[in-house]
Amino acid sequence: MSELPQLWLPILTTAVFVFIASSLIHMVFKWHNADYKKIANEDDVRNVLRASPLAPGQYVLPHCQDMKDMQTEGMMQKYREGPVGLLVILANGTPNMGKLLSQWFLLNLVVAALAACLAVQSFSLQGNSHQAGHLVGMTSFLAYGAGSVCNGIWWGKPWISVAKDLLDALIYGTISALTFMWLWP
């Protein structure tokens, strides 16, 4: 891994380019805006949730502590009646965009660095930049996209939203590949 510090420029540049691309996706093209729907009686739902002292965290409706409980008639009735869903409660207050964007940039750096580790282990710095870039691109695509597919399978995320996330991941992977091909030592 003594070669990895020599890849600081493609790692940093990739993180910056992916950050810029994601900013364009979310602030200019806004193709994810339709992924989030408004609850018709939002104020009523907010009042009910506020009456329950919910700490930040993940909640599930209906709640089933043990899989054996899913076989009981009472639990099956709750599932039939609905709603069935997942709820994520964040801390009250305006989201701290500086903190969130910093965490996103840090993730971009980590993904680029891990992809660089794989590429340098596979090809060494004297290796073919095209092959290294392909490996970085595929690794980055997997890193950015696989979680969304898991959310589609296990958490019911709509598949159209998963498809958009995979398009994002493809864009980020392509940017990563091209940047490493360009800046590979």
Q: Which of 28, 25, 27 is nearest to 168 (CA)?
A: 25
Task: With H, G, I as helix, E, B as strand and everything else as coil, classify residue 38.
Answer: coil
Lowest pLDDT segment from 14-23, 64-73, 172-181: 64-73
SS3 call for 89: strand
What is the pTM (predicted TM-score) of this model?
0.92
Q: What is the pLDDT of residues 121-157, one digit of tens each?
A: 999 999 999 999 999 999 999 999 999 999 999 999 9
H helix or E strand, kind and range, residue 179: helix 159-183
Q: Which two tokens stand for residue 50?
A: 């506020």
The whole-number average pLDDT for the span 16-42 is 96
d(CA 69, CA 128): 56
For residue 83, give every residue at least 6 positions away whose Cβ sits within 8 Å of its Cβ, in sequence order, or none. Answer: 61
64: left (phi over 0), alpha (psi -120 to 50) or beta: beta
What pLDDT, in 10s, does the model give residues 44-79? Answer: 999 999 999 899 999 999 999 888 888 899 999 999
- Looking at the predicted structure, is the pLDDT value of residue 184 above 80? yes
**Token couple for 76:** 């099956």
